[in-house]
Amino acid sequence: MLPSNVLMAPLAGYTCYPFRILAYELGAGLCFTEMTSANGLKYADKATRRLLFTTEKEPVKAVQLLGGDPAVVTRMACSNLLKDFDIIDINMGCPVPNVFKSGEGSALMLDQRRASAIIRGCKKSGKIITVKCRTGIQKEHMFAAEFVRMCEDAGADMVTVHGRSRSMMYDGACCYEEIAQAKAAVSIPVIANGGIFSAEDADKMMERTGADGVMIARYALENPFIFSELTGKSTEKTVARILLEQMDLASACYDETFTSRYIQKLISYGMKGRKGTKRYKEQMYGCGSLEELKEIIVRIFPCDR
C-alpha cells in the first residue's frame, strides 16, 4: 500500500535521489530513479552509481530499468547491484530513436513475446515488478489494453500508461479513452500519466480513465507543490527553500559539476511562467560557484511561493 496514489514519473536528468526525497516529502506516493540501462549496469561506473544512489531515508525505493534483452535485464534485476531497491519498473515507453532502434523502451510494445520474457525474468528477483508503457507506437493504432493484459499475464504488479503513442513523443492531448480501456482490461493497478499540468488536469485524468492513480512528470519540476495540493499533505516550504535544500542534498551526494547543472535545470523549470525572470538566466548559467548560485536563487525567488 503506497502513502498516496500520486506518483512522480521517472525523468532522465531530474529524478536523482534529492528530487525523489523532495517529492516524497511533499506527498508523492512513489518515485522512480531515472531510466538505468541494464547493459550499462555491468560497468557500475560513476554515472551508474549516481543513478542508483539511495539511502534509508528514501521511503520506497524504485529503480527503472531500460533494456531489450531478457537475459541481460533478468541478470541485472536479480543482481546485487539492485539490492537496495524494493520495486523494479521496466521502461517500455521510451520513444528516443536510438533506444527504439536497439529494441528497448517503446520498441518492446511491438514485440510482446520479448516484453513478456523480460517481465517474467524480472519476477525471478522476488521484487515488485511494474511496467511503464505508452498507448502504442502510431497514433492511428493504439493497443494499450492488449499490451497491459500481456503485462498482467506475465506477472507485472502494476502498469503505468502514458496516454500518448510513440509517434506523439511528449506532445498532443492525452488519450484518456485508451488508458480507460487499459484500466478496464486488467485487475492490477493502472496508473495514468501524460499531460497533467494542474490539479484540475489530475482530477480530469482520474475521472476520465478510472485509473488507480496519476503519475506526474514535467509539471512536478515546475511546481513540486502539486504533490501537496493533490494529497493534502501540508508544507511550509517555499521555492527558494526547496532549491537551497536540493542544492545541499545534491552537494552531499554528488560532485559540484553535477550539483550545479542539476540546480540550474531546476531553477530554469521553476522560472517558467514567472514574469521578469528571463534576465537571470544568463547570470545563472554563468555562475562560477554554488555560493553564487545560492545568491541568485534568493534573488529570483522571493520568500513567498
Residues making contact with ligand FMN (CB under 6 A): 9-13, 34-35, 64, 91, 93-94, 132, 162, 170, 193-196, 216-219
**Taking CB positions, which residue lies at the least distance from ligand FMN?**
217
Contact 62, 17 (CB under 8 A): no
**Residue whose CB is less far from ligand FMN, 64 or 209:** 64
Alpha helices by DSSP H, listed for 166-225, are: 176-185, 199-209, 218-222
How do strand 128-138 and strand 141-142 relate by DSSP bridges? antiparallel
Which of the residues 16, 31, 94, 174 is marked catalytic? 94
Task: For ligand FMN, give the closer residue by CB, 173 or 184.
Answer: 173
Helices (H) and strands (E) in the chain, counts: 15, 9
Residue 106 C-beta: closest distance to ligand FMN, Å: 10
- In angstroms, what is the minimal distance from the CB of 291 to ligand FMN? 28
Name the residue nearer to ligand FMN (CB basis): 56 or 171. 171
The least CB distance from residue 12 to ligand FMN, in Å, is 4
> Is 94 among the residues known to form the active site?
yes
Phi, psi of 42 (to 5 degrees): -65, -20
Residue with the three cell numbers 514574469:
275
Q: What is the pairing mode between strands 6-8 and 190-193?
A: unpaired
Least distance to ligand FMN from the beta carbon of 37, Å? 10
In the bound state with ligand FMN, the residue whose beta carbon lies nearer, of 76 and 240, is: 76
DSSP string, 37-87: EHHHHTT--HHHHHHT---TTSSS-EEEEE-S-HHHHHHHHHSGGGTT-SE
Residues marked active site are found at 94
